[in-house]
Structure 1
Amino acid sequence: MSQPAPYDLPDGIVGLTGAVERPEPGTLPVRADLAHVALAQRFLAVHYVVPHIRTIGDADTPLMLAPRTDSEELATLSAGSAIEALDCSGGWCWVCRGPEGPTGYIPTASLQPADDHAA
């Protein structure tokens, strides 16, 4: 079971009232198709995701800008640290440290199994 979010989720109807600039990739957890639910009042996306709290496995893992091993490395996530998983598919997981980022991709295999992460 996931831990409760350490931030407030939007309440009521969510909408935008004007033009919004997209953040640079790797910064905030916003893509054209998905965005962190805590950013729903700031950014428009097709879907908003309530992240799952997951834990990095036994080894440090690089946070990549794109879901490829030859992509730019943005940061290193420490073994055993908690992250927020937003979208996992094709062997990669789009993750962030929170709604203010940073965000990027890690191999799904670098996460502890879902049943073993801290509740």
Structure 2
Amino acid sequence: MTAQASYSLPEDIVGLNGPVEKPAPGTLPLRGDLAHIALAKNYLAAHYVIPQRRRIGDTAATLKLAMRDDAGNGTTLDAGQEIELLDCAGDWAWIACGPAGPSGYVRLGMLASEQ
């Protein structure tokens, strides 16, 4: 079973007070449809997710800025590094190193097996 990250859920009304600058791709774990729960007070998304803790597998993984092998590269994460799994689609996982990022996509096979 995978352990979940421990983040406190917002206790009061969540709302925005004006325009918010969109972060650069590969930084904060924020998409138009989904965002890390820790960003709920500052960013609007259709849904928020409480991430699951996982690890990068036996080889380093370079984050992709989109779910394509030819997408731009983001940060490279070390083998065995702890990450937060936010979403899976097909053979791709959207992951982050925490609510401050970086974030991006890796093939599911790049993650260590669940124990």
TM over 0.5: yes
SS at match of 2:68: coil
- Using the size of structure 2 for normalisation, the TM-score is 0.91
Residue 61 of structure 1: how far off its partner (Å) = 1.1
Q: CA deviation at 1:3?
A: 4.5
The structure 1 segments of at least 4 consecutive aligned residues displaced by more than 3 Å after TM superposition are none
Partner residue, 1:51? 51
Q: Distance in 1 between matches of 2:96 and 2:5?
A: 16
Task: Report matched runs for 1:7-86 at 5 Å.
Answer: 7-86=7-86
Provide the secondary structure at the position in 2 that maps to 1:38. Answer: helix
How far does the alpha carbon of each residue in 1:23-66 deviate from its partner, in whole angstroms, 9 at most, with x for none?
Answer: 11111111000010000000000000100101111111111111
Aligned residues: 114
Give the aligned partner of residue 92 of structure 1. Answer: 92
Identity %: 52
Q: 1:105 to 1:4 in 2, by over 3 A?
A: closer
TM-score with structure 1 setting the length: 0.88
- Which consecutive unaligned segments of at least 5 residues does structure 2 have? none
Q: In structure 1, give the amino acid aligned to 2:34.
A: L
Q: Secondary structure at the match of 2:95?
A: strand
Partner of 1:2: 3
Give the structure 1 partner of residue 101 of structure 2.
101
Give the AA of the match of 1:35: A
Cα RMSD (Å): 1.4
CA distance in 1, matches of 2:28, 2:5: 20
Amino acid at match of 2:29: P
Residue 14 of structure 1: CA displacement?
1.5
Unaligned runs of 5+ in 1: none
